[in-house]
Structure 1
């Protein structure tokens, strides 16, 4: 029954996330927000909703390891699993903005998270506010840079601009209820499965839950790569990792401070997260510059498989 809860919970999170993204984009058009700003901010916030609900639900129920493990594990999965598999199917080009802006910001947020957690073994409300303020500064700089180089955001569906208010309201209600129900079932099922397998909530959160909340990105990337369309960009993936740390943990900590219940989160998982983030730079330049080829994708996926195996073995 617990495994069924997990599967239903993940399905509800996917459905709820999709409805929330659609409603958020349609609502943004109603307020005459530009397509570029919608793509860089509104969509990013909405796609982080599943992780936010899971982390918040876990924190409120006293399972801080799931709150942290969900975000840290998702960031690892975004690079090792999603980016790795996508590059194996279809090599990705690396733009200059990646190493000049996006990558340094991701590393900065990752290192900041480590220091915030290691000083006091918790993420307090004040530290949550600091993360959100830092996210606001990042978004300001991101939008300013995008306007300067005239970046066109392709993933925003312009047909949503003519959506009726009734439909937007219905989508918001369906999305909100699905996300709430999905997070309830997923956290409850994950805790029960951890008990049955004799492993910690931290192990389940950085593996099963993290992979589950990364499924939408993985599915979209694989489909795009197989169709030879533009796959998920490196910038979008890096942005997702930044949002996971700043918005998901920031908002969760403001509502309910997050405590480090397992030493492995600080001593193992967060170093893997920073390691996966750091390795993108040498992979982007050596030996072929500005391209993530298939064998580089294999390196990322193999490293992720090693991480998952070590997590369960330990």
Structure 2
């Protein structure tokens, strides 16, 4: 039965990714803003919904530390696995806004999370408010800067004539499919892991993190296959920012999140910082402003190495 949940989850995630990409491109026409911004707002929020739900449920059920495991593992998976696989589908061209705004903000939030947790091993409500407020400021700057750029990338012209009702319907279908698909995939993966005797800590950092990152994988691979590369990269960076600022921010406001596993601060969060940081040199070496198939293979290989370390340490 657990295998069936995994298969059904994957199917729904692919469907959800398709509808999200379609509605996102249509929205870029409606608001006359770049697809990068749409990817970092609408798509990122929808594909971050599984992490938010898992974290909120964990906080309310008395296990808020699961939220940290989920977000740290998911952010690592977004870059190492999702971006790597997406780049292997097709080389991703990088926009200047990547190093002018998007990447620096992702690093800022990642480093802030580390210091907040390192300070007293608790992510407090005040720190959660700070993270969430920072997200609102970032989105304001992002949208304001996007309005200065009136250039819309080449997309399917038929999407410019889609009605508001249809766009809303596509968003609802996509979000619902991603939500239920993620739930079923995580449920199936957790049952398989428990059957194999793997610890819950490993499940949180690997299988659950991968499961909640599959929406990003589905949306990004479909976007890349359709040559919507701006959405692919913007979705992943935006999702990492949302995971920290929105998921952990909102969860800690509801209930402070304690660090109950030392490996999070001494090991796992440094992998998250490392994967985030390495994106900067990757876009300049050896071919500038592009994440090629070879670079994608390097990212996937590094992620596979991390998974090996995690599972061997138990």
TM-score (norm 1): 0.80
Q: Which runs of 5+ in 2 are unaligned?
A: none
Residue 98 of structure 2: aligned partner: 98
Q: Deviations over 1:234-288 (max 9, x none)?
A: 2332111111111111111112222212111111111111100111111111222
User: d(CA) in 2 for partners of 1:189 and 1:13?
Assistant: 14
Distance apart, 1:3 and its partner CA:
6.1
Q: CA deviation at 1:102?
A: 0.9
Alignment of 1:147-158 (within 5 A): 147-150=147-150, 152=152
Match in the other structure for 1:130: 130
- Please give the alpha-carbon distance, in whole angstroms, between the structure 2 residues aligned to 1:237 and 1:178: 15
Change in 2 beyond 3 A, CA 1:268/1:36: same
CA 1:176/1:59 → structure 2, altered by over 3 Å: closer, same or farther? farther
Q: So what's the TM-score if we normalise by structure 2?
A: 0.80
**1:244-263 matches, cutoff 5 A:** 244-263=243-262
Aligned residues: 306
**Alpha-carbon deviation of 1:106?**
0.5
Residue 36 in structure 1 maps to residue 33 in structure 2: yes
Q: Provide the residue aligned with 1:235 in structure 2.
A: 234
| Deviations, residues 150-173 of structure 1 (Å, cap 9, x unaligned) | 3548899656644189x86x9869
> What corresponds to 2:207 in structure 1?
208
Q: Deviation at 1:47?
A: 2.7
Q: Matches of 1:20 and 1:300 in 2, distance apart?
A: 25
Change (3 A) 1:203 1:137: same
Instruction: Give the secondary-structure state (helix, strand or coil) at the position aligned to 2:86.
Output: helix
Residues 1:11 and 1:65: Cα distance change in structure 2 (over 3 Å)? farther
In the TM superposition, what is the alpha-carbon distance from 1:56 to its structure 2 partner?
1.0
Verify the 8 A CA contact 2:45 2:242 in the aligned structure 1: yes
CA drift of 1:15 comes to 7.3
Q: 1:9–1:139: structure 2 CA closer, same or farther, 3 Å change rule?
A: same
Residue 105 (structure 1) shift: 0.6
**Counterpart in the other structure of 1:313:** 312
Q: How does 1:133-282 map to 2 (within 5 A)?
A: 133-150=133-150, 152=152, 161-163=163-165, 179=179, 195-226=194-225, 229-231=227-229, 232-282=231-281
What whole-Å deviation, never above 9, does each CA across 1:148-196 have from its counterpart, x for those lacking one? 223548899656644189x86x9869967994x7787777766666654
CA distance in 2, matches of 1:24, 1:84: 22
Give the superposed CA RMSD: 3.7
Distance in structure 2 (CA, Å) of the matches to 1:143 and 1:308: 36
